Structure 1
Amino acid sequence: MKINQRKAGVILSYLGEIVKIVVNLAYTPIMLRLLGQSEYGLYQLVYSVVSYLSLLSLGFGSSYLRFYSRYRAENDEDGIAKLNGMFMMIFCVISLICIFSGVIMIKNIRSIFGTGLTDAEYSTAKILMGLLIINLAITFPNSVFNCSITAHEKFLFQKLLILLQNLFSPFLTLPLLILGYGSIGMVSVTTVLTLTLLLTNAFYCFKKLRISFCFHGFKIGLLKEMWFFTFFVFLNQIIDQINWSVDKFLLGRLAGTSAVAVYGVGGQINTMYQSFSTSISNVFVPKVNRIVAETNDNNELTKLFTKVGRIQFMVIALILSGFLFFGRAFVSIWAGDGYDTSYSVALLLIVPVTIPLIQNLGIEIQRAKNMHKARSVIYMIIAIANVFISIPLIKIMGPAGAALGTAISLIVGNIFFMNWYYQKRIGLDVIYFWKQIFSFIPALIAPCIVGILLMKYVNITGVVKLGLYAVVYAIVYELSMYFLGMNDDEKALVVGPIKKIIHK
């Protein structure tokens, strides 16, 4: 049964990513036109500020599985009940702190956003902030039920809920947007769905999983151990918030909501781009931990690191190169007028993030070796530097300046430092890795020539033309990659499923 749950979970994970991307591609342009650039920018700005309150979780959610597994191995049901009780109390307290902090933020909203908003925007921002704070406060106790479902490996139920949430959100939001409720209606739907998710998860945990809670007899030593384990996870959460949210906040203060909207569209493209890579590497995480636990063989880890990196490169290089050639037309058609700079923002974000994306299995190797602390500390320093770099760049270049500041921090930390760290400290053969990646260069020549010719001689004016030329480019890319880039094992990954289908 567990095997079926895992397979169903994997399938639904991939399906969920595809649905999320398709929904975003279809829903976002409608939402942008119904909201308008200014209100969309306001929503992005308020969301980026409220998201900092998610740091109140302190990374505790990541430690539940570790300690649950310990008690499960000892068949200690009382220990599991106390663990559930401890986590629920921690997250309920965090939820109350979140609400209290949110009230303070609302009262001081003009100090937070400075002079970048109009009086009407401040009124809307207060309501948005209140709803988003309630939404976030609900997610904290829900994380206990969600972690419990994961611990019981009920992936089918869990991933199905996420899939349904991604489907229902736009269908419930669009009528409210059409009726003129704007960003407030949009956030109201999100809050209702979050509450529904909490109630559904709670019902499933109590009725199906029969989980129990014990709210006394806690061990202080266990709480200390949990904190030491989660501290560097918490540090990584801070880094992510700085790198991916601070730009919107700075733009809101220095350039206004329209600039935030332009950046937000580019940032959304970056988010979709990253999802194509992480969904591949996650499948190999158990294998990494097994290798480290059994042999800690760096040669074997390097081969796996390179194998996954090559697969990731083939997938995201198609998207990156395609966006380079067709991205300007895509942004113009997808987002509409006033978002031309979003193309530059997206490129400045996705080009430097490409290298850490094809190397993201290395993060799991670091954690398996318990050597992830240095990465967290260095990234924290670089993320703070990102803030100081972005401020003058925003004044000079606007949204593109904010993206350039983030790009510089990504290049210094994720590319230069991490490749040195993998080679000198982790023990991976990075030189071998890059030789294997550079072997794809001959396969990229033909699609690049096609892309340049299409850019130069073709005027892409609509969705049909854009889709047609994108398909032509993808076919040229895939054929060139198959015959000039892939090794025998990679060709087998492509041909194998096709042969099975033909045989059946």
Structure 2
Amino acid sequence: MTSSRQLKLGALMSYLAIGVNILAGLLYTPWMIHSIGRENFGLYTLAMSVISLFVFDFGLSSAVTRFIAKYLAEGRQDKADNCMGLVYRLYIIIDIVMMLVLVGVYFFIPQLYKELTLVEIERFKIVYVIAAIYSVISFPFIPINGVLTAHEKFIQLKLCDVAHKLIIVLAMSVCLLSGGGLYSLVSVNAIAGLIMILLKVSCIRKFTHQGISWRYFEKREFKEIVGFSGWVTIMSIAQRFIFNIAPSILGALSGSTSIAILGIATTLEGYTYTFANAINGMFLPKVSRIVSNDNGDVLPLMVKIGRIQIYITALIVFGVICFGKHFIQLWVGAEFKDSYLCALFVIVPCLLQLPQEIGNQTIFAKNKIKKLAIVYILMALVNIVLAVSLAPIFGALGICVSIFVAYMVRTIGMDIIFYKDLNINVMSFFKDTFVKLSIPLVLCFVLGFTINAVISLDSWLGFVIKGICFVWSYATVMYLFAMNENEKELVLSPINKLCKKL
């Protein structure tokens, strides 16, 4: 199957997986809160965030994708196998260290989370142990996503993601129906993750020729991989000083109720980011091929994908701004009304950042990540200073304001790198994307507020009617006044093929 077809079908599978995930979240998040209570939902959110602070790929997954894609482009499968051998040596060492760190953190939980009650501390300890055991077992398998991406097996990767979401939905539904509590829900997530690891490993064995040269060791190449992944590790750590550390700051300075409010806001942000970013991760191999040519210019691809991302991201962001308050009230109840303003602060930066993701992929492809890591460090420092200052006064809202400012710092910093280090004409990008689409975007934004004001039904039926009207209006405006001929063909082509089959 051609790379182009893999991309198209992979994108389709991505949106299917995301659709399942969003639908499941809409259904079982309020169900979960009702079943285990708002405080336990806060503990659940806190446990997941604490584990993710320590469990990440240390840049090695990105290294796997970059180096294997490079070797495959050169026709050197042996080099790709050698690379995997070097990567896994690092993973095993890191896994042992991480296990020791997680054990150490366990004994300091009461001192770290002083705003939690004694009962909440005991519950949190059990949840933490379950999540930590799963994390230590699953950590060595993190590179499997990078392997499938490097081999451009997007369909298999995304089908696994769909299966993962379905398994979690079914298992958690059974758990909630049978009266399972907080511990059962955490266990279900862990078991689903282990099943998914087995599926992805099977895909690698069946659909690729990827192997692991356990005995291979070459000092220069090892240093190159460590050097690349080292800066990515710094970026990953900095990124964890945004959302992942936020519940811990609230646990220390505010309490479990604020964590729950933040949890709803970050859930909505997660849906927005995942849906809008579904296709971006699949372009690193293609970007690598472009930049391998000394005269390769990524700007045309960046503009092409950027415009598509604006269409998708603006639809979601505008929808949250116009209808988010109504949705949250219907979804999880009036007690989470403060989550709406929180969600706005963390979601709006997506509209500016996600359409530029091809530029970010170019930084990785050209191994110019040192300066990007510096930008991420600055972003993390800004967030921590503001979060610690604002959280005691404003709770979850203070955290979200700090995230908004930090993300804007990141976006500006990345644009400077694009211009100075990658020779990407950033102004030309903005002219061909945001500027040319500004009038249709403003018109859609106004239409969203108008629809929300005119249709005043305070029910799920009213919300669905508003949503349908907005999506239809948005699509019509964009098709008539924003899309170029290629983009219209991209929309009409699958529709025409479907009509012919029918």
Q: Give yes or no for TM over 0.5.
A: yes
1:328 paired to 2:329? no
Counterpart residue type for residue 425 of structure 2: D
Q: Look up the match of 1:421.
A: 417
Counterpart residue type for residue 173 of structure 1: M
- Shift in alpha-carbon separation, 1:490–1:342, aligned structure 2, 3 A: same
- Shift in alpha-carbon separation, 1:474–1:228, aligned structure 2, 3 A: same
Q: Structure 1, residues 66-94: CA drift from partner, whole Å, max 9, x if none?
A: 555677767675x7666555444432333
Q: Look up the match of 2:220.
A: 221
Q: Look up the match of 1:232.
A: 231
Q: Look up the match of 2:51.
A: 50
Q: Look up the match of 1:28.
A: 29
Q: Structure 1, residues 159-185: CA drift from partner, whole Å, max 9, x if none?
A: 333221110112112332344432211
Residue 431 of structure 2, aligned match among 425, 429, 435: 435
Q: Look up the match of 2:261.
A: 262
1:106 paired to 2:88? no
Q: How does 1:394-413 map to 2 (within 5 A)?
A: 394-413=391-410
- Shift in alpha-carbon separation, 1:12–1:457, aligned structure 2, 3 A: closer
1:191 paired to 2:190? yes
Q: Distance in 2 between matches of 1:307 and 1:154?
A: 23
Q: Distance in 1 between matches of 2:365 and 2:157?
A: 25
1:356 paired to 2:357? no
Q: Structure 1, residues 90-141: CA drift from partner, whole Å, max 9, x if none?
A: 323333322222221111111221x111111111111111111111112222
Q: Distance in 2 between matches of 1:289 and 1:192?
A: 36
- Shift in alpha-carbon separation, 1:397–1:373, aligned structure 2, 3 A: same
Q: Structure 1, residues 360-396: CA drift from partner, whole Å, max 9, x if none?
A: 1110122333333212112212212210111121122
Counterpart residue type for residue 249 of structure 1: S
Task: Indicate conservation of the 8 Å contact 1:94/1:140, yes or no.
Answer: no
Counterpart residue type for residue 470 of structure 1: G
Q: Distance in 1 between matches of 2:369 and 2:80?
A: 28
Comparing 26-35 and 249-258, the one that deviates more: 26-35
- Shift in alpha-carbon separation, 1:335–1:80, aligned structure 2, 3 A: same
Task: Indicate conservation of the 8 Å contact 2:440/2:481, yes or no.
Answer: yes
Comparing 18-27 and 8-17, the one that deviates more: 8-17
Task: Indicate conservation of the 8 Å contact 2:444/2:473, yes or no.
Answer: yes
- Shift in alpha-carbon separation, 1:367–1:328, aligned structure 2, 3 A: same
Q: Structure 1, residues 219-259: CA drift from partner, whole Å, max 9, x if none?
A: 34332221012112112211221122122111111110110
- Shift in alpha-carbon separation, 1:308–1:16, aligned structure 2, 3 A: same
Task: Indicate conservation of the 8 Å contact 2:77/2:210, yes or no.
Answer: no
Task: Indicate conservation of the 8 Å contact 1:138/1:194, yes or no.
Answer: no
Comparing 130-139 and 212-221, the one that deviates more: 212-221
Counterpart residue type for residue 37 of structure 2: G
Task: Indicate conservation of the 8 Å contact 2:69/2:151, yes or no.
Answer: no
Counterpart residue type for residue 23 of structure 1: A
Q: Structure 2 regions of 5+ residues with no counterpart?
A: none
Secondary structure of 1:294 counterpart: coil
Task: Indicate conservation of the 8 Å contact 1:49/1:245, yes or no.
Answer: yes
Task: Indicate conservation of the 8 Å contact 2:7/2:154, yes or no.
Answer: yes
Distance apart, 1:51 and its partner CA: 1.0
Q: Distance in 1 between matches of 2:475 and 2:365?
A: 34
Comparing 204-213 and 338-347, the one that deviates more: 204-213
Distance apart, 1:279 and its partner CA: 1.9
Task: Indicate conservation of the 8 Å contact 1:34/1:178, yes or no.
Answer: no
Distance apart, 1:207 and its partner CA: 8.1
Q: Look up the match of 1:15.
A: 16
Distance apart, 1:29 and its partner CA: 2.0
Residue 383 of structure 2, aligned match among 382, 386, 393: 386
Distance apart, 1:39 and its partner CA: 0.6
Residue 373 of structure 1, aligned match among 363, 366, 370: 370
Q: Distance in 2 between matches of 1:482 and 1:213?
A: 48
Distance apart, 1:340 and its partner CA: 0.5
Comparing 429-438 and 261-270, the one that deviates more: 429-438
- RMSD over aligned Cα atoms: 2.8
Q: Distance in 1 between matches of 2:150 and 2:420?
A: 36
Task: Indicate conservation of the 8 Å contact 1:363/1:372, yes or no.
Answer: no
Distance apart, 1:477 and its partner CA: 1.6
Task: Indicate conservation of the 8 Å contact 1:49/1:249, yes or no.
Answer: yes
Q: Distance in 2 between matches of 1:444 and 1:66?
A: 35
Q: Look up the match of 2:160.
A: 161
Task: Indicate conservation of the 8 Å contact 1:446/1:476, yes or no.
Answer: no
Distance apart, 1:297 and its partner CA: 4.9
1:305 paired to 2:321? no
- Shift in alpha-carbon separation, 1:460–1:328, aligned structure 2, 3 A: farther
Secondary structure of 1:121 counterpart: helix
- Shift in alpha-carbon separation, 1:457–1:9, aligned structure 2, 3 A: closer
- Shift in alpha-carbon separation, 1:74–1:493, aligned structure 2, 3 A: closer
Count of residue pairs the alignment pairs up: 498
Secondary structure of 1:426 counterpart: coil
Q: Distance in 1 between matches of 2:491 and 2:154?
A: 27
Comparing 380-389 and 262-271, the one that deviates more: 380-389
Q: Structure 1, residues 332-356: CA drift from partner, whole Å, max 9, x if none?
A: 1112231111111110011123201
Q: Structure 1, residues 394-431: CA drift from partner, whole Å, max 9, x if none?
A: 122111110000101112221x3333333344322222
Secondary structure of 1:338 counterpart: helix
Task: Indicate conservation of the 8 Å contact 1:116/1:255, yes or no.
Answer: yes
Counterpart residue type for residue 13 of structure 1: S
Q: Look up the match of 2:272.
A: 273
Q: Look up the match of 1:314.
A: 311
- Shift in alpha-carbon separation, 1:167–1:352, aligned structure 2, 3 A: same
Q: Look up the match of 2:91.
A: 91
Secondary structure of 2:458 counterpart: coil
Distance apart, 1:217 and its partner CA: 5.5
Task: Indicate conservation of the 8 Å contact 2:45/2:259, yes or no.
Answer: yes
Counterpart residue type for residue 462 of structure 1: S
Task: Indicate conservation of the 8 Å contact 2:390/2:398, yes or no.
Answer: yes
Q: Distance in 2 between matches of 1:295 and 1:80?
A: 23
Q: Structure 1, residues 279-308: CA drift from partner, whole Å, max 9, x if none?
A: 23345444433332225355xx33332222
Distance apart, 1:15 and its partner CA: 2.0
Q: Distance in 1 between matches of 2:409 and 2:6?
A: 41
Task: Indicate conservation of the 8 Å contact 2:251/2:259, yes or no.
Answer: yes
The sequence identity of aligned pairs, in percent, is 28
Distance apart, 1:26 and its partner CA: 2.1
Counterpart residue type for residue 233 of structure 2: F
